[in-house]
Amino acid sequence: MTAVTVLPDADSTPCVLDRDGVGALVRELRARGRTVVGPTVRDGAVVLAELESADELPYGWGVELEAGHYRIRRRSDTAAFAHSAGPQSWKNFLHPERVRQWSADRGPDGGMTVHAERPEPTSFAFLGVRPCDLRAIQIQDRVMTGGRHRDDAYEERRSGAFLVLVECTEPGATCFCVSMGTGPAAQPGYDLALTEVLDDAGHRFLARAGTARGAEVLRSLPRRPADDVTRTRAREDVEAAAGRMGRTMPPVDLRGLMADSLTAERWDDVAARCLTCGNCTMACPTCFCTTTEDVSDLTGDHAERWRRWESCYDLDFTHLPGGSVRTSPRSRYRQWLTHKLGTWWDQFDSSGCVGCGRCLVWCPVAIDITEEAHALHQEALDRRAEGKDGAP
């Protein structure tokens, strides 16, 4: 990816933007030729979509979350970013779910002409990136560009992306970013960071730059120096959010827990509920698996190859000449969970989970990754108490 200049602390002095300042931010990013993507209300959800104006942000909207449950609701204030993760993540734009790789046409003489897809790279500006999703982007960076098998198309999209992070001040009932060390406070990797503050002094955003290009954009906006009241309120709101997480992971080495739980009885319990639909992998901001499919028209004269997202819950995912390797729901759920929390470390030196809670919300039978981790931990403790092997 193209390197960006990270600012020293002295060059990232916080300032304050009001609501008009956020509007100016969107206009400035668009004037610089960027496609601004951010949250907006559409089809009964807070979704990520291209924004033409900051007026399209979900001012006054919040969400009601639980495992298997998502509803938007009107708030009593005009907060723009007081909602938790929606059905999409930034993966939808950096690693799209379906991409044509090439097409081929057969001419009258029977000869074939192959056309490689070379789409013009989009210069994205992502507005409203949560700290957990920033970590998810960084995890996908490692997967897509950090090894021998680089994804050039991903790198083009990612290297040009301008990230405006928004710290979390109101976590949802399915959030557990504190357990995963990914939020709710900003961590390095953003171009601009905002913290939304609403109190008797008004509606405003504490803003600071994280890169030189972020500072350049910030200097072009109407702003004022950060006052002590705004600084303090912003810090206190983020700290309070850390204590209001809706979920937690067990305070153990999750990698070790997964490795020692391969024969746990709990897998049978979750397998009895799991539909193997793959919703959790589609909603997850770090799942990256793909497959290819070839299609042709009825004449057979035109063919295309597409890359699309794939799920480890699909029987075809591990299909070999002798059949699928993982035929049972137990084996497929176990593969997903042990990879996400355990063997991801072996591949990419990090966890594959960022604590966003999307897999809970969008599971049609409300399977809860944190509940399953706690249950595996309790089973391991019980085994240890009984003097059996397999305890972490």
pLDDT digits (tens, 9 = 90+) for 229-260: 999 999 999 999 999 999 999 999 999 999 99
The larger pLDDT score, comparing residue 384 to residue 249, is at 249
pLDDT digits (tens, 9 = 90+) for 214-225: 999 999 999 999
**pLDDT grade, residue 1 (50/70/90)?**
low
Task: Give the pLDDT of residue 305.
Answer: 95
Task: Give the pLDDT of residue 311.
Answer: 95
Region 282-287 average pLDDT: 97
SS (H, E, C) the chain: CCCCCECCHHHCCCEEEEHHHHHHHHHHHHHCCCEEEEEEEECCEEEEEECCCHHHCCCCEEEEEECCEEEEEECCCCCCCCCCCCCCCCHHHHCCCEEEEEEEEECCCCCEEEEECCCCCCCEEEEEECHHHHHHHHHHHHHHHCCCCCCHHHHHHHHCCEEEEECCCCCCCCCCHHHHCCCCCCCCCCCEEEEEEEECCEEEEEEEECEHHHHHHHHCCCCEECCHHHHHHHHHHHHHHHCCCCCCCCCCCHHHHHHCCCCCCHHHHHHCCCCCCCHHHHHCCCCCCEEEEEEECCCCCEEEEEEEECCCCCHHHHEECCEECCCCHHHHHHHHHHHHHHHHHHHHCCCCCCCCCHHHHCCCCCCCHHHHHHHHHHHHHHHHHCCCCCCC
Residues of the chain with pLDDT > 70, as a percent, come to: 96
Region 333-349 average pLDDT: 96
Judged against a pLDDT cut of 70, whether residue 344 lies above it is answered with yes
For the ranges 35-39, 106-110, 219-223, which has the lowest average pLDDT? 106-110
Task: Give the pLDDT of residue 8.
Answer: 54
**pLDDT grade, residue 392 (50/70/90)?**
very low
Task: Give the pLDDT of residue 391.
Answer: 46
Task: Give the pLDDT of residue 10.
Answer: 41
pLDDT digits (tens, 9 = 90+) for 17-28: 999 999 999 999
Task: Give the pLDDT of residue 319.
Answer: 82
pLDDT digits (tens, 9 = 90+) for 123-145: 999 999 999 999 999 999 999 99
Q: What is the dihedral of CA 285, 291, 297, 303, to 10 degrees?
A: 110
